Structure 1
Amino acid sequence: MTPFPPSKTAFITGITGQDGSYLAELLLSKGYEVHGLIRRASTFNTQRIDHLYRDPHDPSRRLHLHYGDLTDASRLVSLLSEIVPDEVYHLAAQSHVRVSFDEPEFTANTTGVGTVRLLEAIRMIGLETRFYQASSSEMFGATPPPQCEDTPFHPRSPYGVSKVFGYWTARNYREAYGLFAVNGILFNHESPRRGETFVTRKIARAAARIALGHESLVYLGNLDAVRDWGFAPEYVEGMWAMLQADRPEDYVLATGTAYTVEDFARLCFDHVGLDWTRHVRHDERYLRPTEVDALIGDASKASRELGWRPRTFTPELARIMVDAELSMLQGPTAEVAPFPGTWPGLSGRPMAG
């Protein structure tokens, strides 16, 4: 098969995360050449994208990974100068809200100031690119729902504060330097690739393991927290659409529906025929010093201007995630395959930089 020439080049920070892996798949399917930033570690952390190196329809190897870090400004300058991307998707962050209370300085340095380093690298180079900033519904915090692009921010965690900093940094570079920079204010979006410490994956995994007799209880924090949960693969479509628009704007992506953590637990355990109240226990260690009671998004602007609409809602999302956990536990590669559709190992992985 003759490789087709890439239409555009994209650079993704956070490519090894849930959103980064789905975004890489989407862009590769559109003919992009994709470059991703990964941190150097003593163990490999690329499970979510390993399968992309084994795509028989991609003999040209249009996916390239580069070692680097958001705390290393000079490395960002050299990489962007080398790659010259048409689009930059900034997804990397210390993204766990509860952990941000334990590591506020690290969260601010990566999630907040890391955005400045990346945008300043683009400005210093004079790079003509389109920039996507992964903003978060956590920026709204204590502000009552529904929340849209014009809703005031009231963050309730170091993570939320850092995301507000990144949001206004992107806005400032757009207004001060004319950069095509957009903020995607994404409400909670989940998938089988979600990290195991995030509450939806934790619940789905527990429901499957308990159903198969591997354990009996799961411990959770605030069961009354209300969230707007969507499906991650659909949300990366919205990210891409924002950078294809005629002018840079900020957009909320959300389903507009509200479910509590308790609701999500009930949906997951119902799917495997279990009573959630027999298996869920409260643990105060998982509570945050300041809680966010309710996040419910209004994505009318994205629907109107981008044609983006959610297709998967919380009840179906719970079934998808539990089924994926059951498949992994019951499959022949359950002990080593951490994500559906991916395979362990590193043979043949090209590294750049």
Structure 2
Amino acid sequence: MPSALITGITGQDGSYLAELLLEKGYDVHGMVRRASTEKFDRLEHLRDRITFHQADLLDQRSLVDALRAAKPDEVYNLAAMSFVAVSWIQPTLTAEFTGVGVTRMLEAVRETCPEARFYQASSSEMFGKVLETPQTERTPFYPRSPYGVAKVYGHHITVNYRESYDLFATSGILFNHESPRRGLEFVTRKITWHAAAIKHGRRDKLQLGNLDARRDWGYAKDYVEAMWLMLQHDRPDDFVIATGEMHTVRDCVQVAFDEVGLEWERYVEIDDSLKRPAEVDLLVGDAGKAKQLLGWEPTTNFEQLIRLMARADLDLLAK
């Protein structure tokens, strides 16, 4: 039975990845931070099948202890300060978790289990003010947020450890990926939840920032399969994971409100305070390399995804 350790296992991607690995017969271990109120909502149906280890990306010793206990064949580093907007409010903490935390994790792997295969969750936010469209593995980075800058560091340090210490260290440059398990602070889930809440009479408006921002949105369940495929490949490499289709925030609003049977213009208000200090206007990825080398392709398109999320939020709020 292969074993895997997932950092950030309580998040959207971590929960889907845990499901996938359990289906494939893995012994799944999850790294969790100590908190006064533990949040296992996304893992409630899996909790008795996962071994949890308390550790923190800010504490090197705890990472070594967790890896020694888990003895993983694969390590998926998904933990980070994952919300871009907060990275302007807490830029130093974002750098510590999302950037330097990757180095601590790689050092711990190098010390305890250098034969393990390592996956780093890189991000399309690294491209920021894009220098070419679509973005590929060779597109230069131009991050436009403290989060993006920290992700660039995490990405490059992973490449550096791969080349310096011959670690099997791979980075997945994932474009936006969503699901009903997405946090409410993320724009897609904010939209689908509010559409459902307005339908149920629990809210009367939705405030948004930039409706014209364009993104490449995919389904998180598809994207965690790509993570797994990267670690089954015969050599470590970096892969863009994306749908290749671009949609605006406005498109997301239109689909979500259509799914719940409402006219969106009556309920959506623009709030300039919600706009980013430095906007990322468009992101769209070319996943041709992943298709060619890993055989990966997305199975859920944008409209299917937003309708799926809106229906899930209608059901959630109906309860």
TM superposition score category, shorter chain reference:
over 0.9
Query: What residue is the counterpart of 2:258 in the other structure?
Result: 270
What amino acid does structure 2 have at the position aligned with 1:48? R
For the pair 1:312 / 2:300, whether they are aligned, the reply is yes
In the TM superposition, residue 245 of structure 1 has moved relative to its aligned partner by 0.3
For the pair 1:136 / 2:123, whether they are aligned, the reply is yes
Query: What residue is the counterpart of 1:102 in the other structure?
Result: 89
Q: Secondary structure at the match of 1:51?
A: coil
Query: What residue is the counterpart of 1:92 in the other structure?
Result: 79
**Residues 181-330 of structure 1: matches in 2 within 5 Å?**
181-330=169-318
User: Is the CA contact 2:114–2:167 (under 8 Å) kept in the aligned structure 1?
Assistant: no
User: Is the CA contact 1:226–1:261 (under 8 Å) kept in the aligned structure 2?
Assistant: yes
Structure 2 counterpart of 1:15, from 9, 22, 28: 9
With the length of structure 1 as denominator, give the TM-score of the two structures. Answer: 0.89
- d(CA) in 1 for partners of 2:109, 2:291: 30
Query: Greater helix share, 1 or 2?
Result: 2
Moved over 3 A (4+): none
1:81-121 deviation per Cα after TM superposition (whole angstroms, max 9, x unaligned):
22210000000000100110110000000000000000011
Q: Secondary structure at the match of 1:48?
A: helix
Structure 2 counterpart of 1:38, from 29, 32, 35: 32
Deviates more, 1:141-150 or 1:297-306: 141-150
1:274-303 deviation per Cα after TM superposition (whole angstroms, max 9, x unaligned):
111111111112111100000000000000
Query: What residue is the counterpart of 2:54 in the other structure?
Result: 67
User: Is the CA contact 1:221–1:283 (under 8 Å) kept in the aligned structure 2?
Assistant: yes
In the TM superposition, residue 270 of structure 1 has moved relative to its aligned partner by 1.1
Query: What residue is the counterpart of 1:150 in the other structure?
Result: 138
In the TM superposition, residue 67 of structure 1 has moved relative to its aligned partner by 1.1
In the TM superposition, residue 249 of structure 1 has moved relative to its aligned partner by 0.9
**Please, which runs of 5 or more residues in structure 1 have no aligned partner?**
1-6, 54-60, 335-353
- d(CA) in 2 for partners of 1:82, 1:66: 8
- d(CA) in 2 for partners of 1:202, 1:161: 25
- d(CA) in 2 for partners of 1:146, 1:267: 24
User: Is the CA contact 1:14–1:37 (under 8 Å) kept in the aligned structure 2?
Assistant: yes
User: Is the CA contact 2:71–2:113 (under 8 Å) kept in the aligned structure 1?
Assistant: no
User: Is the CA contact 2:54–2:66 (under 8 Å) kept in the aligned structure 1?
Assistant: no
In the TM superposition, residue 68 of structure 1 has moved relative to its aligned partner by 1.2
In the TM superposition, residue 126 of structure 1 has moved relative to its aligned partner by 5.0
Query: What residue is the counterpart of 1:179 in the other structure?
Result: 167
Aligned residues: 318
Q: Secondary structure at the match of 1:255?
A: coil
1:205-263 deviation per Cα after TM superposition (whole angstroms, max 9, x unaligned):
00111111111101011111000000000100000000000001110110000100011
What amino acid does structure 2 have at the position aligned with 1:77? V
**Please, which runs of 5 or more residues in structure 2 have no aligned partner?**
none
Query: What residue is the counterpart of 2:46 in the other structure?
Result: 52
Q: Secondary structure at the match of 1:185?
A: strand
User: Is the CA contact 2:125–2:144 (under 8 Å) kept in the aligned structure 1?
Assistant: yes
What amino acid does structure 2 have at the position aligned with 1:129? A
Q: Secondary structure at the match of 2:46?
A: helix
In the TM superposition, residue 125 of structure 1 has moved relative to its aligned partner by 2.5
- d(CA) in 2 for partners of 1:80, 1:132: 14
- d(CA) in 1 for partners of 2:271, 2:147: 22
Query: What residue is the counterpart of 2:23 in the other structure?
Result: 29
Q: Secondary structure at the match of 2:298?
A: coil
- d(CA) in 2 for partners of 1:44, 1:71: 18
What amino acid does structure 2 have at the position aligned with 1:8? P
- d(CA) in 2 for partners of 1:175, 1:43: 40
Deviates more, 1:21-30 or 1:117-126: 117-126
- d(CA) in 1 for partners of 2:150, 2:51: 29
- d(CA) in 2 for partners of 1:110, 1:158: 12
User: Is the CA contact 2:128–2:143 (under 8 Å) kept in the aligned structure 1?
Assistant: yes
What amino acid does structure 2 have at the position aligned with 1:123? R
User: Is the CA contact 2:67–2:113 (under 8 Å) kept in the aligned structure 1?
Assistant: no
With the length of structure 2 as denominator, give the TM-score of the two structures. Answer: 0.98
1:9-66 deviation per Cα after TM superposition (whole angstroms, max 9, x unaligned):
000000000000000000001110011011111112111001113xxxxxxx541111
State the identity %.
Answer: 58
